[in-house]
Amino acid sequence: MDLLETEDVVFSLNRHRNQDSKSVAKAYFSSVTDLKTEGKYRIIVDLEKGNADFPYFMSDSHAAIIPAGTTNFDDGIGTGGYILENFNAGVRSLVKRNPNYWKEGRAHFDEIEILSVADNTARTNALQTKTIDAMNRCDLKTADLFKRQPGINVIRTTGSKHYTFPMRTDLAPFNNNDVRLALKYAINREELLKIVLRGYGSIGNDTPIGPTYQYFAKDIPQRSYDPDKAKFHFKKAGLSNHTFTIHASEAAFSGGEEAALLYSEHARQAGINIKIIRSPKDGYWKSIWMKKPWSIEIFLKCIFLIPRMCL
């Protein structure tokens, strides 16, 4: 495995910038006017205008760096702790330790086999019978049971997801800020965290930036469940007799329908009626999400329970 060099970065970015490129990251680098190297460790990127988000574009998963001159993109060549030996999408991956890995004290295993087991019951049984050594995305309903089982360790870390109730603010009535405030105050986040996530998460505060991120604003006062404030803003919006409709599905996240039901019960205490439409998993992301004015979803940020405004 070769060492990462500046030419590799330039080559990789230019693949996205190519006029005929079909890369989903092409738009990220459309403002780049020139790329050049300066010595072994410096790359100069010229932009047509200032872009504060450019450093984050560089860290996007689609912007992975590959060796200059690469023509076979199935080998998974990188500078990580492991070298890809075999990959069968949705079935199995096999990697071996990179003997030239640049980080000391990392990449402890000689070989790792990763299996894709979609069925949660099968995954759980495989762990309990020691057919597998570890699994991720443990079902929250069984996490506490695992804690009591000898030989199994439940490791909990702050995640990179957040669970949301996004509204299309380009459509009425969600283009009214008082409507949005009413619904923010009408949700009992603590109860959702306790019942839906079984306590495995943290309370959101109407922002997708969680505590794992550098710019997490921990000093913003927490917005809490307040039926009286919800009533105030609901009345101010002039929608006293309005019934909101939210589309919920287990396709969005496990417990999504239960979360929507609890939300409607919380809102009822503020005189707000929410009608729940249970949508099938098939076609949810194509036909419901961002098509209907109000739905539920999960984003790869921090584990949050928040009604998020989607523009």
pLDDT confidence of residue 308: 33
Same fold, 82-147 and 162-310: no
Res. 241: pLDDT tops 90: no
User: What tens digit of pLDDT does each residue of 95-135 get?
Assistant: 999 988 888 899 999 999 999 998 888 989 999 999 999 99
User: What tens digit of pLDDT does each residue of 44-81 get?
Assistant: 999 999 998 898 899 888 888 888 888 877 777 778 89
User: What tens digit of pLDDT does each residue of 9-49 get?
Assistant: 999 999 999 888 888 889 999 899 999 999 888 999 999 99
**Token pair for residue 232?**
């105030």
pLDDT band at 311 (very low <50, low <70, confident <90, very high): very low
pLDDT confidence of residue 67: 87
CATH superfamily, with its number, for domain 162-310: Dipeptide-binding Protein; Domain 3 (3.10.105.10)
CATH code reported for the domain at 82-147:
3.40.190.10
pTM, to two decimals: 0.70
Q: Break the chain into its structural domains and give their ranges.
A: 6-63, 82-147, 162-310
What is the average per-residue pLDDT within 213-217? 83
Q: What percent of the chain has pLDDT over 90?
A: 52
User: What tens digit of pLDDT does each residue of 243-258 get?
Assistant: 999 999 999 988 999 9
What is the average per-residue pLDDT within 156-169? 86
pLDDT band at 300 (very low <50, low <70, confident <90, very high): low
